[in-house]
Amino acid sequence: MELRTDKINLFWLSRKGLFRFKTWFVLKVVVLFLWGFVILNSYSLYLSQPRLFQASISNKFMFFLFLLLNFIFFVFFMALTILTFKLRQVEFGLYRCSGATRREIITLMFNESLMLTLISFGLLFFFEIIFIYFFRLEIAGLFKVSYDLRFTLGMAKNFLLSLVLVFILLMVCYFPLAVYYSCKDPYEIVRY
Selected range binding other proteins among 34-42, 92-100, 148-156, 169-177, rule: CB under 8 A: 92-100
| Site for other proteins contains 184 (CB under 8 A) | no
Residues 12 to 71 in contact with other proteins, rule: CB under 8 A: 12-13, 16, 20-21
A 10 A CB-CB count for 181 gives: 19
- What gap in Å lies between CA 15 and CA 115, rounded to an integer? 9
How many Å is the Cα radius of gyration of the chain?
A: 21
Q: Which is nearer to other proteins, 99 or 176 (CB)?
A: 99
Among 24, 46, 66, 102, binds other proteins (CB under 8 A): 102
> Mask of contacts with other proteins, 104-143, x by CB under 8 A?
x---------------------------------------
Tell me the closest approach of the beta carbon of residue 102 to other proteins, in angstroms.
Answer: 6
**Distances, alpha carbon 106 to alpha carbons 83, 156, 175, in Å:** 16, 33, 8
- The CB-of-8 to other proteins minimum distance in angstroms stands at 5
What does the binding site for other proteins look like in residue numbers (CB under 8 A)?
1, 3-6, 8-9, 12-13, 16, 20-21, 90-91, 93-104, 185-187, 190-192
